Amino acid sequence: MDIFLITGMSGSGKSVALRALEDAGYYCVDNLPPELLISFVKLEEQQKEERLAIAIDVRNANSLHLMPEQMGLLRGMGITVKSVFLDASSETLQRRYSETRRKHPLSGGSKPLSDKALTETIALERELLSDLREGSLVIDTSLLRSAQLQTYIKGLLTAPAAQLTLVFESFAFKRGIPTDADYVFDVRMLPNPHYEAALKPLTGRDEPVQAYLRQSEEFVLMQQHIEGFLNHWIPAIERDHRSYATVAIGCTGGQHRSVFMVEQLARHFGDRWLTLKRHRELDAA
């Protein structure tokens, strides 16, 4: 049985993720109480259901403490779960709630919270969900459109649950560091194709930009150093039974240097581990 556990902050895009999995043929259940997880999985096994997507979040705050035990029981049944935690900055979540005028599930009232109360409630939710975040693949949706998130979720379907998957992500520092990254490398000190008139409208996926960066000794040395660091530490991550590790590469605009570095790293490590590529700024275009 293939099980996806979707969890995360309220307002971070869980409904979008579930729709993506439903489109991919998963049987989806939203807001399943943790105490019913094992019973539900056993029932679906009897029904010969092979692909399940289950959303569990702070709406079941009183029973979230049961999740470590429940996950252990699933492992004892020989079932491995792909766990994805959707996150966003507190400022983004507060803005989304303000724009939609929805009430937060922890508000307890019928009206939207004040800005101060909402800030405190989001902080409380982070604390309550901290155990679920640990060990999950974290996707920061602060700057993602719904279509991007759906693409990212569908990209995870190819990843074997019991195998380490490396996610390489390019981003622009001017738009903020992704909160889902396990490692962040800054390549802003490298030669910038942005200042070459013929290269400015291109991206790190285009051969002229790649040729320009390949001839840079600094770029080659930076790539070697990042590869050396990851070659040393990724086996340790794998031994720790992690399912995912996200490596973010940032430059100023997220168009040239970081994009090509991600392409190079994904190619280098793809022979040994399953690798996924994301280009936060390019994918948003």
Residue 281 has pLDDT above 70, yes or no: yes
The domain of 26 spans 2-158
Are 239 and 188 in a shared domain? yes
Q: What angle do CA 114, 141, 266 make, to 5 degrees?
A: 160
pLDDT recorded at residue 198: 97
Confidence of residue 111 (pLDDT cuts 50, 70, 90): low
Report the relative pairing of strands 165-172 and 244-251 from DSSP bridges.
Answer: parallel
Q: Which pLDDT value is given to residue 80?
A: 80
- Note whether 151 and 198 are same-domain residues: no
**Shared domain check, 178 and 116:** no
Amino acid 225 reads H
Q: Do the Cβ atoms of 14 and 150 come closer than 8 Å?
A: no
What would the mean pLDDT of 148-162 be, rounded to a whole number? 83
123 and 189 part of one domain = no
140 plus 201 within the same structural domain: no
Q: Determine whether 11 is exposed, middle or buried from the number of CB atoms within 10 Å of its CB (0-12, 13-18, 19+).
A: buried
Mean per-residue pLDDT, 204-211: 98
Same domain, 125 and 179: no
Query: Does residue 41 carry a pLDDT above 70?
Result: yes
pLDDT per residue as tens digits for the range 79-91: 888 899 999 999 9
Q: Say yes or no: 135 and 41 in one domain.
A: yes
Same domain assignment for residues 101 and 215: no
Highest mean pLDDT among 42-46, 174-178, 195-199: 195-199
Identify whether residues 144 and 27 lie together within a single domain: yes
The enclosing H or E element of 84 equals strand 81-87
CA distances from 147 to 45, 97, 108, 141 (A): 31, 20, 32, 11
Any idea what the CATH number is for the domain that residue 124 is in?
3.40.50.300
- Final residue belonging to a domain, choices 143, 158, 173: 158
Mean pLDDT of 212-229: 98
pLDDT band at 63 (very low <50, low <70, confident <90, very high): very high
Q: How many structural domains does the chain have?
A: 2
In the listed set 158, 187, 211, which residue is the last one of a domain according to the structure?
158
Residue 105 has a pLDDT of 87
Least confident of 5-14, 103-112, 138-147: 103-112
Same domain, 138 and 194: no
Residue 218 has pLDDT above 80, yes or no: yes
- Nearest C-alpha neighbor of 152 from the set 265, 6, 31: 6
More confident: 124 or 116 = 124
Strands across the sheet with 51-55, in order? 27-29, 51-55, 2-8, 81-87, 137-140
Share of the chain above pLDDT 70, in %: 97
**Distance (Å, rounded) from C-alpha 255 to C-alpha 285?**
11
Query: Is pLDDT above 80 for 56?
Result: yes
d(CA 285, CA 282): 5
Q: Is the pLDDT of residue 101 over 70?
A: yes
Name the token pair of 169: 């992500």
- One domain, residues 151 and 14: yes
CA distance 53 to 279: 26
pLDDT at 242: 81
Pairing of strands 165-172, 51-55: unpaired
In this structure, the answer to whether residues 140 and 171 fall within a common structural domain is no
